[in-house]
Structure 1
Amino acid sequence: MVRRELAEARWAARGRVNEALAARQAAVAQLESVRRSAPSRKLALQATLDEAYREAQARLHRETAAVHVALAERAADIAKGRAGSPFATWRTAERCPDENASMLRIGTLGKRRNGDGLPALVPLLDQAHLQLDGNDGVIGGLLLRALACTQPGTLRITLYDPGQLGGGALAGFAPLAPAGLVNFLGPGGLTPLLDELVEHIRRINENVLCGVHANLAELAAHTGRRPEPWRLAVLLDDGSTELTGAQRAQLDRIVRTGIAAGVHLICRGIDLPDDGCVERVSTTGADIRPDPPPSPTLVTSVCKELAEQVIAGPPPVPFEALLPETLWSESSAHALRAPIGEGTDGRMVELVLGDDPPHALIGGPSGSGKTNLLYAWLAALTSRYAPSEVELHLLDFKEGVSFARFARGTGWLPQARLIGVNVNGDGEFGLALLRHLSQELKRRAAAAKTHGAAKLSELRAEDPQGHWPRIVAVIDEFQALLGARDAITTEAVALLEDLARRGRSQGIHLVLASQDVAGIEALWGRSGLISQFTLRIALPKARRVLAETNLAAELIPRCHAVVNADSGVPSANMVVRLPDAGDRAHWTALQDQLWQARPDGCEPPRLFDGDATPLFPLLPPPPPPDALTKVGAVALLGETISVAERPATLRLNRAPGRHLVVLGSQTEQACSVLLAAGLSLAKQHFEGTGRFSIACFDEDAVPAAKSLHIAIPRSAWFDHHNALELFENWQSEVPHYIFGFAMDAGSSVLSGRGHELMRALLAKGAEQRVHLLAWWRSVARLRDDMGGIGARLDGIGAWVALDVHGQELSPLYPQPGGPAWHPRPQRALLFDRAVHQKPEIIIPYEVAP
């Protein structure tokens, strides 16, 4: 292109010089006619003629220079960045956003002066095929420019070089091979290559262009992204190979139809047919002087950089692509729809939860981006659906706080109703969530029956004033509920199956995620359960999430996922490029925006942190004295592991056995239980309406016991010196609460008469509104103080066990063998004969002494 424009400008300038020469010849003729008669006139005409000639020459030089500058500027505009810059100026990490490989530099035009000749550009991608006679250095420079000026992975090169077999000057492109960007072919490889390219062109025309677009370049301009990579075949030969008829026919097809499908040929030694799309370039003549070839170091570094980028995968799509133009503009009456990332066609792929598919299963090994995927999905959901449209229950069984950010004090996520983190040791909380969802399912089913509705959309239409949002329960590392063989697992599986089967019609959706294949395999063993999870999302290297024969997750790079809404059937696979949704700045900005838009009356979510010790709660004012006389006071012992933030309580009324025993050697937790009980009981009594006695027999427990003594004015203090007096005078006209710290350490003082009086208190005290709340460091010591191995412990109606195994509790438990309890840090087991059929796990409060 540049060469033709320069030639035209030179011919125009030379035409003007020829006109000046013709004028000079006319002047010479005129001069000869008057030579004899007018010598002076001859001299004047000669001077005029010389001046005209010099002026024409100067004009020629000026116009030629102007054309040269204009053409150089045009060439720089056509071949920007590394498409036209000398190799010596390259910085491999830098890329101009306007770079493209449609016109590439191969050298300079004509004779160069001081190396500033015009660049010689040749067309290539989406433009033409090339027929060259240059050496491997020229071809290598073209390939390097083409690779550097296209997005990583969008250009695939095949080198047919039977003479060199992948060696020679083009061997520097070998680092591209691990990324699948280059392939070297030797003898016998031409026919398969031509057949493959013809088949590729056919597939592009039928499945990609589909008769709607003329070529891939037009489709890319329309959608904003390249749907298929370019295929560049370099065919090198010494001219001695004679193509067969079949090979020549295939080559002709590629020449005619390849450019529209992104298939291009660069040939040397193999003649291409005469066609308007074939550019024939000679670098051995005087018109073009080829550039020096790129250095092997430059070729290797560029190729390694490209291969690393392709292997690492493309960058994630922007987080903002998940968000709608207007917040909370969608209705969840029929389904929840939210984009999760970009598909291979450049369009956003939506995840749907509704009647079909109703539930989702997510799998991916550690580091594959499971938490990031959940964040992306939650961002898309919460920005589209208001708190009245969707409620979130988020539970994370692994040791982490992935969901804790949604419950921060100011700026919590309005759609979140329950958040559980660090619950890997608290399967009871997962069970509590499933029980809560089961109760909600029953409530919705009853309402639907009343209104004659078969599903949530009909219920919302029949009862428009009701509060019927869709509920999404996300359980990360759900296998914690399925792994053990105990009562928790048995009940959890039953509840999961019921929710999975009936939840779809009432708008309750389960999202189960796991990084451990064992969790997925636990589901595969329950066909009735896994069949309900028709939406499957597999992250890189995930196993058994999709169908057994679907191995698509093995092939995708990082920041990608396979979305399948047909139970993992391979034909339903959609590869999705995910955004970076884990960035705290992005999420904080969105969460603050959602929090500012929250409706009036929107309550913060319940946060259960398995690693946090709950603080002793603020207590309400005391009730009227007559109310306590009728129903008795209530002692707070700790926090229950439940969906609602509910304290574990013990009602102390006139019923037999209304006493509490704390068992275990953990001083701090035992004191916390007694402190919580004492402070809560004291708060329920006005002055003079209750009596409090505190006995302490262990030095380690003295600080806690003293703090309770100080917190309750007029409470009585007892220790080794006067403990017997306490049990000789336990009768009282008002409710009397006796707190014993480390009672077994006072056995030497209470032995005999003291223990007899204590047994009498346990047997008859509650009927007289006298209650013992005491701590023994072992069941054996309690039993010894109560009369030995055959002692009856029926007078103890409630107990809290700390680091005591279930078998040791059999003397206090109505069933043989004791409860199924193994001690856990910061956990205790509560059993109240008047309330429980089975013991309840509680978390002792943190009570400052």
Structure 2
Amino acid sequence: MADVRTQLVTRVRGMLSHALGAARQRQAVARSELDAARERLARTSRLAARVPDRVDAERRKRIDEINSRSAAQLTELAARAAEAARRQAPGAAGTTWDSWRPTPAVRAEPPGELRIGMVELSGAEPPPALVPLLDLGHVHVSGADRAGCDAVVSTLLLRALGRAAPGALRLTGYDPEHLGGGLAGFAPLATAGLLTFVGPGGLGRLLDDLVDQIRRINETVLAGEYGSLRELAAATGRRPEPWRVAVLLGGDELSRHERGQLDRVVRTGAACGVHLVVRGIALPDEPAVHRIVVDPRLTRLSGCPGLAVRPDPAPPAALVTETCREVAAHVNAGPAPAPFTDLLPPPDRMWQDDSATGLTAPIGDGPQGRPVLLTLGDYPPHALIGGPSGTGKTNLIFAWIGSLAARYSPAELEFYLLDFKEGVSFARLAQGRRDPSWLPHMRLVGINVNTDREFGLALLRFLAEELRRRADAAKRHEVTKLAELRAVDPTGRWPRIVAVVDEFQMLLAGRDAVAREAAELLEDLARRGRSQGIHLVLASQDVRGIEALWGRPALVAQFTLRIALPKALRILAERNDAAQVLPRHHAVVNAESGLAEGNQVARIPSASDWETWSELQHRLWRMRPSDAAPARLFDGDAVPRLDDAPDFAALRPPAAADGTRPGGRPDGTGRGPVALLGEIIDVQARSAVLRLPRAPGRNLAVLGTRVEEACAVLDAAARSLARQHRPGTARFSIACLDPDADPAARALYDRLGPDAAWYDEETMPELMAETAAGLGYGATPGEPHYLLLYAVDAAAGRLASRVGGRTGLEHLRRILHDGPERRSHVLAWWRGVARMRADLGGPASRTDQIGAWVALDVQGGELGSNLYPGSGGPDWYPRPWRGLFFDRAVHRTGQVIIPYGPPR
């Protein structure tokens, strides 16, 4: 029992000891963890003590970063807003007053919004504050600061005036309280009709007029095709209507009718360019109304209600007055011409029109901004243009030619242009030395032909021949009109022809053969040309007193298209005086023979200056067909050169040593060599040709006292003859008896070289005797011999002496009579008809041995019946550097020629 008790006690003690050791161990661990926790707590406390300082530093840093970034963004936004404002309000719409000047919007450029001040921004450069007005809406100004309101109104009006072209902005003022005093600075505009004041009680009439303008513009200008004038201008580049701004500065309470009309203007006016600037009258809350509340401390705009605006000061009074005076002066001087580009189709539409049934092209803008078209076809077939000097006749012709040439290719249209007045404006249409381009449609340009009516007659003859050719082709194909001919002969070339004759009355002046034939040809062309696509355009400064035209009513009746420039007389019908009130750069276009009901007023573009025209001409020139040739340019003031003559370039010497070409034809023609004497006044560049075969009378006499011209005729004749002979196969004997002609004769002698022999007064009788001796009957013709005798009549005394049993004059007569058949030809200059007759045997002597002559300063009556067929001589009136050439073997009437100038 005791052992058991002992064992139990021992076991319990062991268990207690073990439990106590475990508890102590856990206590030690807990104490260690407590110490660690206390350390962590202390460390955390220390860290926690430092947290507020770090948090404050981070917060301040972030705040500084945010502030800096916000300031930069604000500056950037302000700069971007200022740049956008400058784009929205360019030039005069946004410039400060110290550098302000008018900068009218060009073409389809919108005028932009208008600056009235600067937006208040702290810490950044303030951007401009803009208000929309022109084409955009209406402006309502309110506020207790009356001076500030007046400054805002003046600012808006002056900036709008500066962005509009002169005359494109019209103001109407209604100021019943101050009777227009609020707009006094703009008063100079009234002298040009750009500012109208409406007195007290006139508001109703003013609003009625504005509503009528809006209705008219919607019906006739926009016509359902465009939604607004701004849209029309952007699409077409034209603005046919001015801006109309009504400035309403207070007044009595509006009636019901006035309120209704005001509301209509507010709703529909901006689209039609009708705008309101209002102070003292309530406007309805419409999107088109922009409100400005003016306050000395804080001005607000309805477009940006959250921002304050600092208004600009009122524009300087002197600036307002001077600007208005300049605008009024510009408008009073007349409207500017329309841009030439308005007449042209888009580049991809050039040369796309067909002229089979006629030619149609715009000539300018009508009052409603729509193009005024000119048509040439079966009706109307021909045109008559009239206008005093300086009214733009040449410009109108350029505009019409350019408008047609841009639409019709050279295969569809050809031009022939003749200008009888002095000047070279139309020369640019042909190829020049400085500018190689030419208008591809132009076939003939004649300038400075005021003294060469024969050239106009040559053009009419050419057109008459072309009319006959076309009529014959139409008969062969059994048709009557050009359109039908082109349909049945598509491979033929049948363009329409437009012949323009400026100052055409010069062609019909006088009562001579030229005027008579020209009038007959004009009448025939006007009557029959329409069916074959030949159209005449006659232009004149004044057609009064042109009997050859107005005495032929059948001729005038064919010119149903009439174009009258300002102050033109007798172009339109007798009682149609529309041209008398035309402004500059305008014309009355009438396709009803001038009757008043056919009037259309067109604003003509500026087309005649080279900068304007050259771009179109160069574009069309680059489009020309590969086989296109330059137009023939005839300048009546220019002296042609033999070296440039096509006929001279075509001359060649014979190919064989025996004087024959292949086939045995002497001189290549069988009719002898030719002498070129000068240029014929003709449509084609042709030379006056004298053939010198072996036939009686093939000699030439040059008659007159003008030394230089006589020498030029002989020089051209000799040089062209020499070109047809190989060296050593022809002789040229030159005898000069006039000291003034000696330099020219010597120069020819030097150019002819070894084939030429020189004779003077002493040796000339020997030349006559030697040449005559070789002409004996039965003698074999030798080599060609050309005797070039300068002022032969001066040797009359020396030739009176005998050489070989005969006088020198007798030898000369025999040479003239027998020489041509033996290849000896005389080309001689006599200084008068009487002197030539004396050398030939006296006043009663025959002149058959002179087969051809060129008369210089010799009146037609002096030539007489022996030299010219018929009685009384030819209709020849001498003029500088012109001659009348007549060849008995060829001509029925004389040819007017221009002697070739001396070689360069």
Residue 650 (structure 1) aligned with residue 680 (structure 2): no
Report SS of the residue matched to 2:425: coil
Report SS of the residue matched to 1:694: strand
Question: Does the CA-based 8 Å contact 1:342-1:348 persist in structure 2?
Answer: yes
Partner of 2:443: 417
Partner of 1:127: 137
Counterparts of 1:120 and 1:776, CA distance in 2 = 91
Structure 1 residues 342 and 322 mapped into 2: Cα distance closer, same or farther (>3 Å)?
farther
Deviates more, 1:504-513 or 1:576-585: 576-585
1:114-161 CA distance string (max 9 Å, x none): 998887665544423636463443432232233234444332101233
Counterparts of 2:875 and 2:699, CA distance in 1 = 23
Residue 808 (structure 1) aligned with residue 817 (structure 2): no
Matching residue within 736, 740, 747 for 1:696: 736
Counterparts of 2:501 and 2:675, CA distance in 1 = 34
Counterparts of 1:218 and 1:847, CA distance in 2 = 64
Partner of 1:445: 471
What is the deviation of 1:720?
2.3
Partner of 2:194: 181
Stretches of structure 2 lacking an aligned partner (at least 5 in a row): 1-54, 300-309, 643-647, 802-806
What is the deviation of 1:656?
4.1
Matching residue within 583, 594, 611 for 2:621: 594
Residue 264 (structure 1) aligned with residue 275 (structure 2): yes
Deviates more, 1:92-101 or 1:290-299: 92-101
Residue 573 (structure 1) aligned with residue 600 (structure 2): yes
What is the deviation of 1:775?
1.2
Q: 5 Å matches for 1:132-531?
A: 132=142, 134-135=146-147, 136-162=150-176, 164-166=178-180, 168-186=181-199, 189-190=202-203, 192-210=205-223, 216-217=229-230, 225-236=238-249, 239=251, 251=262, 254=265, 258-269=269-280, 282-283=293-294, 287-288=298-299, 291-307=312-328, 310=331, 311-313=334-336, 316-318=339-341, 321-322=344-345, 324-325=347-348, 328-340=351-363, 350-405=373-428, 406-408=430-432, 410-516=436-542, 526-531=552-557
Question: Does the CA-based 8 Å contact 2:565-2:588 persist in structure 1?
Answer: yes
Counterparts of 2:697 and 2:675, CA distance in 1 = 15
Matching residue within 762, 781, 790 for 1:741: 790
Counterparts of 1:449 and 1:268, CA distance in 2 = 78
Counterparts of 2:739 and 2:118, CA distance in 1 = 96
Counterparts of 1:350 and 1:830, CA distance in 2 = 47
**Structure 1 length normalisation: TM-score?**
0.81
Partner of 1:641: 681
Aligned residues: 797
Which amino acid in 2 is paired with 1:148? G
Matching residue within 880, 889, 893 for 1:825: 880
Which amino acid in 2 is paired with 1:299? V
Residue 680 (structure 1) aligned with residue 730 (structure 2): no
Partner of 1:19: none
Counterparts of 1:647 and 1:123, CA distance in 2 = 71
Matching residue within 766, 775, 785 for 1:725: 766
Question: Does the CA-based 8 Å contact 2:444-2:631 persist in structure 1?
Answer: yes
Counterparts of 1:362 and 1:821, CA distance in 2 = 31
Which amino acid in 1 is paired with 2:415? L
Structure 1 residues 544 and 113 mapped into 2: Cα distance closer, same or farther (>3 Å)?
farther
Question: Does the CA-based 8 Å contact 1:640-1:842 persist in structure 2?
Answer: yes
1:589-619 CA distance string (max 9 Å, x none): 743763574234x444333222222222333
| Identical counterparts, % of pairs | 54
Which amino acid in 1 is paired with 2:833? V
Matching residue within 627, 635, 647 for 1:609: 635
Which amino acid in 1 is paired with 2:800? S
Which amino acid in 2 is paired with 1:407? Q
Counterparts of 2:561 and 2:316, CA distance in 1 = 52
Question: Does the CA-based 8 Å contact 1:638-1:648 persist in structure 2?
Answer: yes
Partner of 2:48: none
Structure 1 residues 249 and 688 mapped into 2: Cα distance closer, same or farther (>3 Å)?
closer
Partner of 1:42: none
Report SS of the residue matched to 2:897: strand
Counterparts of 1:846 and 1:269, CA distance in 2 = 83
Question: Does the CA-based 8 Å contact 2:381-2:559 persist in structure 1?
Answer: yes
Counterparts of 2:225 and 2:699, CA distance in 1 = 83
Structure 1 residues 812 and 454 mapped into 2: Cα distance closer, same or farther (>3 Å)?
closer
Partner of 1:24: none
Question: Does the CA-based 8 Å contact 1:483-1:522 persist in structure 2?
Answer: yes
Report SS of the residue matched to 2:348: coil
What is the deviation of 1:285?
7.2
Matching residue within 677, 699, 718 for 1:659: 699
Report SS of the residue matched to 1:408: coil
Deviates more, 1:343-352 or 1:797-806: 343-352
What is the deviation of 1:523?
5.1
Report SS of the residue matched to 1:294: coil
Counterparts of 2:398 and 2:175, CA distance in 1 = 50
**Structure 2 length normalisation: TM-score?**
0.76
Deviates more, 1:685-694 or 1:788-797: 685-694
Partner of 1:797: 851
Partner of 1:620: 652
Structure 1 residues 833 and 247 mapped into 2: Cα distance closer, same or farther (>3 Å)?
same
Residue 92 (structure 1) aligned with residue 146 (structure 2): no
Report SS of the residue matched to 2:536: strand
Counterparts of 1:611 and 1:578, CA distance in 2 = 30
Counterparts of 2:636 and 2:119, CA distance in 1 = 75
Counterparts of 1:203 and 1:127, CA distance in 2 = 19
Which amino acid in 1 is paired with 2:319? L
Counterparts of 1:218 and 1:661, CA distance in 2 = 75
Report SS of the residue matched to 2:445: strand
Deviates more, 1:765-774 or 1:425-434: 765-774
What is the deviation of 1:446?
0.5
Counterparts of 2:131 and 2:691, CA distance in 1 = 92
Which amino acid in 1 is paired with 2:431? A
1:624-668 CA distance string (max 9 Å, x none): 286369634432222211122222122334554333221111112
What is the deviation of 1:669?
1.4
Counterparts of 1:387 and 1:772, CA distance in 2 = 48
Counterparts of 1:699 and 1:61, CA distance in 2 = 101
Report SS of the residue matched to 1:500: helix
Deviates more, 1:493-502 or 1:124-133: 124-133
Report SS of the residue matched to 1:358: coil
What is the deviation of 1:586?
6.0
Q: CA RMSD in A?
A: 4.4
Counterparts of 1:215 and 1:179, CA distance in 2 = 27
